[in-house]
């Protein structure tokens, strides 16, 4: 009895502490938490919302309807606990508010489950939305669902990440290959087209790792005098980037350039380079343009990083969705990566989430 009471007490304390911590963390988390269920309810109970229901019912028949009619866009994003996804949602909401007063935008939380997103898309089809925007949680699992929507005559925009197969969706994002190319191109040029470079990959088999590595390899093929002497995965992690670089520096081999497929690994490598007293001798470029990396570029430590314009991805996804819903033919849109160096770093602080 007594033991049980102690146990209950401990549990209560833990949960209360956790609850308080969650509240104290403030705005962001709370906003996401309340927003998601609200959006869910709206989607699951369409009858409750007459304004939504009326145009939705007509939509499949009147596909190329007039532009002053309400356009309904259903959106499902990978996972609303992911800050990047919350940012995409915010940008899409802002774009709708600023540019398309006649668009009704609903965003659902895919909860990182492809099954959830599949049923959400099925819901959108039943509801008869005019266009669907999706950031797929799984590049393969969602192919049939997207196909189903396209077959039902609903245009599907894949925002940021795409699905593996072309079933008639329109992709609006930045190809990882191009990011890898920009990264490798920068390092190869900086070392004068000649020398030894190393590559930190993402987790083996991760879609971004595959894309970025492909881009890097394509560029390296054009530089016969640049040797890729070490090529390993740092699993996106700063710690692993650091120990890998420490070990490579131990071999005493001349290293002229470091290509890291994300900024975390580049920052880790820089810790090792600094400890070895080789800062400035080795060119380092990351990818993603996280705030830490911008700070490092600004301080003249990291040489460059590559910026992915996720705001542009979200804005253009909405624009494409509206156009497609109005019956216009829309095409895949590749939002270009941008190279961030000490010269232009200041302008990027406002553009990252």
Partner 1 sequence: MMKIKPGSGGATMGGKATVKKIFSTYGIIVAFVVIVVVMSILSKHFLKADNLMNLIRQVSFNGMIAIGMTFVIMTGGIDLSVGSVVALAGVITASFQTTDKPEQLMMLIPAILMGLLVSAICGLANGMLITKGKLAPFIVTMGMMTIVRGIAMVYVNGRPIVNFTDAFKVVGGGYVGPIPIPVIIFAVVIVISILLLNFLTFGRHVKSVGGNEAAAKAAGLNVDGIKIKVYVLNSVLAGLAGIALASRVNAAQSIFGEGYELDAIAAAVIGGTSMSGGVGTIWGTVIGTLIIGIISNGLDLLNVSAYYQMIAKGLIILVAVLLDRKNK
Footprint on this chain of partner 1 (rule: CB under 8 A): 3, 6-7, 10, 14, 18, 21-22, 25, 28-29, 83, 201, 204, 229-233, 237-239, 242-244, 246-248, 250-252, 267-268, 271, 275, 291-292, 295
DSSP code string of 106-119: EEEE-TT-HHHHHH
CA–CA distance, 179 with 160 (Å, rounded to integer): 13
Closest to partner 1 by CB, 102 or 250: 250
Closest to partner 1 by CB, 173 or 234: 234
Q: How far is the CB of 147 from partner 1 (least distance, A)?
A: 33
Q: How far is the CB of 350 from partner 1 (least distance, A)?
A: 17
Closest to partner 1 by CB, 104 or 303: 303
Closest to partner 1 by CB, 127 or 201: 201
Q: How far is the CB of 82 from partner 1 (least distance, A)?
A: 9
DSSP state of 335: P
Q: What is the three-class DSSP state of 345?
A: helix
Tokens of 281: 């001798």
Contacts 24+ apart (CB under 8 A), 35-40: 35/80, 36/80, 36/108, 36/109, 39/106, 39/107, 39/108, 39/109, 40/108, 40/109
Q: How far is the CB of 204 from partner 1 (least distance, A)?
A: 6
Helix and strand element counts for the chain (H, E): 12, 12
Q: How far is the CB of 17 from partner 1 (least distance, A)?
A: 8
Cα maximum dimension of the chain: 76
Closest to partner 1 by CB, 238 or 283: 238
CA–CA distance, 117 with 135 (Å, rounded to integer): 9
């Amino acid at each position: 009895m007594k033991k049980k009471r102690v146990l209950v007490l401990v549990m209560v304390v833990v949960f209360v502490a956790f609850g308080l911590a969650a509240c104290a963390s403030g705005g962001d988390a709370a906003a996401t938490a309340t927003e998601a269920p609200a959006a869910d309810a709206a989607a699951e109970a369409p009858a409750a919302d007459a304004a939504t229901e009326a145009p939705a019912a007509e939509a499949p028949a009147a596909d190329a309807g007039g532009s002053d009619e309400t356009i309904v866009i259903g959106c499902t994003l990978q996972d609303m606990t992911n800050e990047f996804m919350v940012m995409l949602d915010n940008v899409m909401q802002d774009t709708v508010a600023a540019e398309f007063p006649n668009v009704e935008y609903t965003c659902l939380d895919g909860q990182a489950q492809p099954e959830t997103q599949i049923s959400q898309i099925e819901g959108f089809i039943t509801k008869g939305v005019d266009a669907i925007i999706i950031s797929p949680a799984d590049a393969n699992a969602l192919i049939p669902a997207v196909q189903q929507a396209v077959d039902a005559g609903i245009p599907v925009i894949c925002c940021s990440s795409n699905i593996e197969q072309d079933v008639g969706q329109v992709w609006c994002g930045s190809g990882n290959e191009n990011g890898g190319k920009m990264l490798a191109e920068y390092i190869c040029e900086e070392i004068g087209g000649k020398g030894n470079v190393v590559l930190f990959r993402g987790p083996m088999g991760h879609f971004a790792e595959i894309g970025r590595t492909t881009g890097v390899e394509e560029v390296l093929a054009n530089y016969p005098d640049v040797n890729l002497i070490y090529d390993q995965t740092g699993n996106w992690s700063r710690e692993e980037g650091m120990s890998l670089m420490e070990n490579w520096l131990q071999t005493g081999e001349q290293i002229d350039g470091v290509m890291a497929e994300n900024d975390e690994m580049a920052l880790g490598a820089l810790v090792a380079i600094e400890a070895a007293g080789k800062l400035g001798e080795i060119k380092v470029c990351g990818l993603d343009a996280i705030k830490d990396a911008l700070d490092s570029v600004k301080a003249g430590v990291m040489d460059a990083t590559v910026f992915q314009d996720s705001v542009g991805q979200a804005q253009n996804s909405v624009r494409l969705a509206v156009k497609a819903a109005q019956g216009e033919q829309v095409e895949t849109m590749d939002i270009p990566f941008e190279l961030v160096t000490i010269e232009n770093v200041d302008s990027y602080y406002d553009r990252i989430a």
